[in-house]
Amino acid sequence: MEEYMEAWNDTEESKERMELCRERLSTIPSEETVPAEYREFFTSQAKKLLRIFEYEEMVENGSFYTLSREECQRRFDAMYEEMLPQNYGESFSNPVYAVKQFGKRYGRLLTYLAAKLNAQIFYAAEGNLLFVVMAAELFIELYNYFEEFHEYTFKECREALYSFETDNAELFSSRRAREQFDPTCTFVKDIIMGADGADLRYLYRYGEYVTENEFGIARFLHGLSEDKIKAAAENVVGGYLRGFEVMRVPLVKGQTVSLRYAIGFERIMKEVIRLLEKEGLFVASVRTAVAGRHARKAGYTVTNVNIQYDYDHRNDEGLLADKQWFVRKEAALHRVYEAKKDVLSLYAGPLVLETFGERLPLPKNVAEAIQLDKRQQRLKVESTGRLGAMVEQYIPSDKTSFTIVAYPLPSIGEEFPEIFEETLRLNQLDNEVYRKVQQCIIDALDKARAVRVTGRGNNRTDITVQLWKLTNPETETIFENCTADVNIPAGEVFTSPVLAGTDGTLHVTSVFLGSTEYKNLEIAFKDGKTTTYSCENYSSKEENEKFIKENLLKNHDWLPLGEFAIGTNTIAYTMGKKFGITEVLPILIAEKTGPHFAIGDTCYSHGEDHKVYNPDGKEIVARTNEWAELRHTEPEKAYFHCHTDITIPYEELGEITALCDDGTGITIIKDGRFVLPGTELLNEALEEK
């Protein structure tokens, strides 16, 4: 399949198809063969495709990058015209506008098509003429249907889209798998290694709509000293290598590391690649998938062009999805994974550089957007479970590791340079200091049967978390002592709770999850399962519950409590307060600034049977829970394939107390300060003015 795709992409036949499409598209604006109310749509989309064709040709022959930066930007503005916020109100990519123009059925169908054509910009940048031509042919097919509007119906148009997606599922999956896991696919690596901070036109090579954030961080890093660039790269690569040591997973030469990062950080990533290759490792990278960008960025990515656009199209598959849709897509991916199992067997795991500093508006829920009905939600949840099991089959989690680090973007504010410097320092804190302090907390928790967490002030948290019972305290422990390896910076101890008897309420007055603020988020638990939930983002209870179910529960009816942790990085907390950026700190850092609770799978998901040890040599035995135990008997019920951390900041924290079998308690934090002997050092940052 891959060889066929690449061959077609390079032949004259492919270009001949493009010329046929170009000829047909160029006539559409002057024709009056479709009903009058649809002519503007087809004219605008034909012109968009013609612009993308021209862009692809200029990318192929290299002439695009001889243009001035102003001309590059002008052409990108034209290609992205429909998605830009200033144009979105009267854009066919906007389901509200499309439904207003064409009614619900055809409006949703045509806004789906418009979004599908928008994605071709990425393929054009990658030189993937095949996919661009296929999309253009799909557009022309639907145009032909509308030319015979009284003969063909909505059903035929929908079936054309359905066939396009399912018939080509293996082709699409093959391409993405190659980019994600195969180091011979060097599109991204070539951009990184060839990046020149003195000529920022290289940023256009990705095909993504780059903003001042990307230009700003690239300029800033270009002016940073070589020592600081190397320190940042050594920090994240060192964490990556330590992750394998901590997990006791072998890392051998010839394995592949997947790079996930924000465009603009090429100078750091260039040094990261050099360090990884010095270890005998290869790199691969893939663009963040178009679907779900508002919530998850698993690949190289950019600042959101228009979060409302991403949110409006988050459920576009709802136009087409039925049971067979999911079955065919799963089967296609399985064939791809089977064909590429040798490549997958060399996958070591992702190295992730996240960013923070975007202050995104809360997207609106619009009735016109395509939605998943309850049956589709259930089918998607079930399919996600099967896909997770498939990934585990070909890429066992106990054979891989990862690391994540985060840096600010210029959009964080005028103090960006100072915040960046502070983040550099934060990410390079002394692991040994945190290991010793955190061991004091773990020693206390290992004596407990449960932990009670309460809030103070306006925080209504009151929850009791049940803990594992140790059978051999001399060699076993409940909590993991987390320093700066897989999660940078250092600063937490965490465990997988016992669900039975884990009851109470988790409340946070404000928390940012996935760049979105949740106001007065409250979740109730009974036996470790979410029962009720609410927030105050929208005006109605129903809207808020729907928002939480879709974005936090991932359309599950409930989720278990997969993790309980105590964050110890008071320096990170103080940094947030000092610069007034607490609300935009990423989960990676925010989770270190107080106790946090993760709903979904445990941190050891799919790897529960792989033994893990703390630096003191004790085995961490709390790696599973009652649901994960079903992996042995009912694996389809064992995992939920999501994990979201929710942190209570120190200022909202009343008390964390370890409850012992004899009825006594060991207080770890009281009124936002560490009171357990051996942890006093952590209060120093909290006392800073």
**Full DSSP string of 544-610:** HHHHHHHHTSTT-S--BEEEEEEE--HHHHHHHHHHT-GGG--HHHHTTSSEEEEEES-TTTT-TTS
Question: What pLDDT is attached to residue 5?
Answer: 43
- Pairing type for strands 448-455 and 653-660 reads antiparallel
Answer whether residue 293 shows pLDDT above 70. Answer: no
Check whether residue 454 and residue 492 sit in a common domain.
yes
Q: Do the Cβ atoms of 552 and 514 come closer than 8 Å?
A: no
Using the Cα atoms of residue 528, residue 531, residue 537 and residue 543 in order, give the sign of their dihedral. Answer: positive
Tell me which of 39-48, 366-375, 477-486 is least confident: 477-486
Angle between helices 169-181 and 2-10 (to 10 degrees): 90
Picking from 407, 438, 470, the residue at the C-terminal end of a domain is 407
Mean pLDDT, residues 561-578? 95
Mean pLDDT, residues 664-671? 96
Check whether residue 504 and residue 387 sit in a common domain.
no
φ, ψ (nearest 5 deg) of residue 598? -110, 130
Using the Cα atoms of residue 471, residue 474, residue 479 and residue 484 in order, give the sign of their dihedral. Answer: negative
Given the structure tokens 């050099």, which residue do they identify? 274
Given the structure tokens 């009614």, which residue do they identify? 103
Distances (CA, A) of 506 to 336, 366, 535, 640, 653: 42, 29, 12, 20, 11
φ, ψ (nearest 5 deg) of residue 666? -115, 110
Answer whether residue 294 shows pLDDT above 60. Answer: no
Helical segments of 195-225, H only: 212-222
DSSP secondary structure code for residue 368 in this structure: T
* Domains identified in the chain, total number: 3
Q: Is residue 543 part of a domain?
A: yes
Q: Is residue 170 part of a domain?
A: no
Question: What pLDDT is attached to residue 484?
Answer: 80
Check whether residue 220 and residue 336 sit in a common domain.
yes
Residue 285's pLDDT band, with cuts at 50, 70 and 90, is very high
Question: What pLDDT is attached to residue 292?
Answer: 59
Answer whether residue 342 shows pLDDT above 50. Answer: yes
Pick the closest to residue 338 from 255, 394, 387, 389 (CA basis). Answer: 394
Strand partners, 658: 451, 666
Q: Is residue 388 part of a domain?
A: yes
Check whether residue 367 and residue 473 sit in a common domain.
no
Whole-model pTM above 0.95?
no
Q: Is residue 423 part of a domain?
A: no
Question: What pLDDT is attached to residue 460?
Answer: 97
Ramachandran bin of 528, using left for φ above 0, alpha for ψ from -120 to 50, beta for the remaining angles: left
Extended strands (E) in 243-346 = 256-260, 282-285
Picking from 109, 135, 163, the residue at the C-terminal end of a domain is 163
Check whether residue 402 and residue 487 sit in a common domain.
no
* Residue 9 neighbours by CB under 8 Å, 6+ apart: 127, 128, 129, 130
- Domain assignment of residue 647, given as a range: 429-686
Q: Is residue 419 part of a domain?
A: no
Pick the closest to residue 370 from 289, 314, 310 (CA basis). Answer: 314
Check whether residue 140 and residue 198 sit in a common domain.
no
Q: For the chain, what is the mean pLDDT?
A: 92
DSSP secondary structure code for residue 121 in this structure: H
Check whether residue 387 and residue 436 sit in a common domain.
no
Check whether residue 270 and residue 231 sit in a common domain.
yes
Picking from 342, 374, 407, the residue at the C-terminal end of a domain is 407
Token pair, residue 140, equals: 């022309």
Using the Cα atoms of residue 214, residue 219, residue 224 and residue 227 in order, give the sign of their dihedral. Answer: positive
Check whether residue 362 and residue 471 sit in a common domain.
no
Check whether residue 139 and residue 250 sit in a common domain.
no
Distance of alpha carbon 313 from alpha carbon 565, whole angstroms: 34
What is the signed CA dihedral for 453, 454, 459, 460, rounded to 10 degrees?
100
Distance of alpha carbon 214 from alpha carbon 252, whole angstroms: 34
Distance of alpha carbon 38 from alpha carbon 626, whole angstroms: 55
Exposed e or buried b per residue across 282-308, where buried means at least 16 C-beta atoms within 10 angstroms of its C-beta: bbbbbbbeeeebbbebbbbbbbbbbbb
Does residue 95 have a cis bond before it (omega within 30 degrees)? no
Distance of alpha carbon 584 from alpha carbon 519, whole angstroms: 14
Check whether residue 186 and residue 117 sit in a common domain.
no
Q: What percent of the chain has pLDDT over 70?
A: 97
Distances (CA, A) of 634 to 137, 587, 639: 44, 32, 10
Question: What pLDDT is attached to residue 579?
Answer: 94
Pick the closest to residue 287 from 297, 278, 299 (CA basis). Answer: 299
What is the signed CA dihedral for 241, 242, 243, 246, rounded to 10 degrees?
140
Check whether residue 189 and residue 159 sit in a common domain.
no
Q: Do the Cβ atoms of 75 and 290 come closer than 8 Å?
A: no
Q: Is residue 418 part of a domain?
A: no
Question: What pLDDT is attached to residue 151?
Answer: 78
Extended strands (E) in 266-369 = 282-285, 347-356
Cβ neighbours of 71 (radius 10 Å): 12
Pick the closest to residue 518 from 593, 590, 603, 571 (CA basis). Answer: 590
Distance of alpha carbon 569 from alpha carbon 590, whole angstroms: 9
Distance of alpha carbon 574 from alpha carbon 572, whole angstroms: 5
Mean pLDDT, residues 284-290? 86
Contacts for 576-582 with beta carbons within 8 Å, 24 or more apart? 578/422, 578/688, 579/412, 579/413, 579/415, 579/418, 579/419, 579/422, 580/413, 581/356, 581/357, 581/408, 581/412, 581/413, 581/419, 582/649
Question: What pLDDT is attached to residue 650?
Answer: 92
φ, ψ (nearest 5 deg) of residue 476? -125, 155
Q: Express each pLDDT in 621-643 by its tens digit.
A: 999 999 999 988 988 888 998 99
Q: Is residue 453 part of a domain?
A: yes
Pick the closest to residue 46 from 64, 65, 67, 22 (CA basis). Answer: 22
Answer whether residue 255 shows pLDDT above 90. Answer: yes
* Residue 301 neighbours by CB under 8 Å, 6+ apart: 208, 260, 261, 262, 263, 287, 288, 293
Q: Is residue 594 part of a domain?
A: yes
Residue 247's pLDDT band, with cuts at 50, 70 and 90, is confident
Pick the closest to residue 280 from 241, 230, 229 (CA basis). Answer: 241
Ramachandran bin of 349, using left for φ above 0, alpha for ψ from -120 to 50, beta for the remaining angles: left
Q: Express each pLDDT in 173-228 by its tens digit.
A: 998 898 999 999 999 999 999 999 999 999 999 999 999 999 999 999 999 999 99
Residue 67's pLDDT band, with cuts at 50, 70 and 90, is very high
Mean pLDDT, residues 539-544? 93
What is the signed CA dihedral for 663, 669, 674, 677, rounded to 10 degrees?
0
